[in-house]
Chains A and B, each alone.
Chain A
Amino acid sequence: SQTIHQWPATLVQPVGSPLSLECTVEGTSNPNLYWYRQAAGRGLQLLFYSVGIGQISSEVPQNLSASRPQDRQFILSSKKLLLSDSGFYLCAWTFLREGETQYFGPGTRLLVL
C-alpha cells in the first residue's frame, strides 16, 4: 500500500532563517506531487506541483521554492522565511487520472517568529 511521509511534524523558525520541508511517498512510482499551505481558518492553497523529476510548476509567486530530486521525494524550501510563511504545510500525491483521489500527508506545522 502507498504511504506518504512528511517531516518535521512541527517547526519553529526565526524570521530570515532558511527552510527545508521534506515529503516522500512509498509504494508507488511516478506520482504527481503537490505542496499546499493552509493558513489558520483558511482553505488550502496550492503552492507547487510536480508531474516528474525536476519538473516543478508554481501556482503562487512567493519566497518559497520546491524541488523534486527523486521520483518519490518532494522538497519545499525557502532562503529567508517571512512571518507570513507560518501555516500548516501539506504534501499530497495522486496519479494523473480524472477523478483520482488525492492523498495527503500528515502535514508540517510551521511557526515563524
Chain B
Amino acid sequence: KNQVEQSPQSLIILEGKNCTLQCNYTVSPFSNLRWYKQDTGRGPVSLTIMTFSENTKSNGRYTATLDADTKQSSLHITASQLSDSASYICVVSASRNTDKLIFGTGTRLQVFP
C-alpha cells in the first residue's frame, strides 16, 4: 500500500533555532517527492520537488534531502523565523501524472519568540 508517513506530528522550537522534519514513504513506482508549506487556513505552497536522481535541493532557508534507497526524505529549516510556523507536508508522486500524489498528514511546526 502506498503510504507517506511524517514525523514528528508536531514540533515547537524557538526563533532562530534549526529543525529537521522527517518523511518516510512506501510508494512504488516512485516519480518525485515534494515538500509543501501550508499556513493555517490557506492552500499549500510548494517548497521543493526532487526526482529520483536528486539528493538535495534548497530553497532559501529550506533544504530537502532524499535517500531513494531507504525511501526517506528530510526537510531542514535553518535559523527559523516566526513566519515558518505552519504545517509542512511531504508528498510523493507515484507516476508521471500528478493524479497519483500520495500526501502525508504533515508536521505542524510552531516557532515561538
- Residues on the A chain within 8 Å of B96, using CB: 98
Knowing A43-B103, A44-B89, the reply to whether A107 touches B98 (Cβ < 8 A) is no
A side interface size, CB within 8 A = 27
The answer to whether the Cβ of A34 comes within 8 Å of any Cβ in the partner chain is: yes
Query: Which single member of B32, B42, B99, B106 contacts A106 (CB below 8 Å)?
Result: B42
Q: Which residues of A contact B4 (CB under 8 A)?
A: 43
Interface membership of chain B positions 38-50, coded 1 if the CB is closer than 8 angstroms to chain A and 0 otherwise: 0001111110010
A101 & B43 in contact (Cβ 8 Å cutoff): no
In the complex, how many angstroms separate the beta carbon of A80 from the nearest chain B beta carbon? 27
Name the one of A45, A49, A109 contacting B99, with C-beta atoms under 8 angstroms.
A49
CB-based contact A101/B44 at 8 Å: no
Interface size on B, residues (CB 8 A): 22
Are B46 and A103 touching (Cβ within 8 A)? yes
Is the CB–CB distance between A99 and B49 below 8 Å? Answer: yes
Q: How far is the CA of A55 from the CA of B34 in the complex (A)?
A: 26
- Known contacts A49-B98, A94-B98, A99-B32; can you find 5 more A-B pairs with CB under 8 A? A43-B105, A49-B99, A90-B43, A92-B43, A98-B31
A interface, CB within 8 angstroms of B: 32, 34, 41-46, 49, 57, 59, 88, 90, 92, 94, 96, 98-107, 109
Which 6 A-B pairs have CB atoms at the shortest separation, nearest pair first? A104-B43, A43-B103, A43-B105, A44-B103, A98-B96, A101-B46
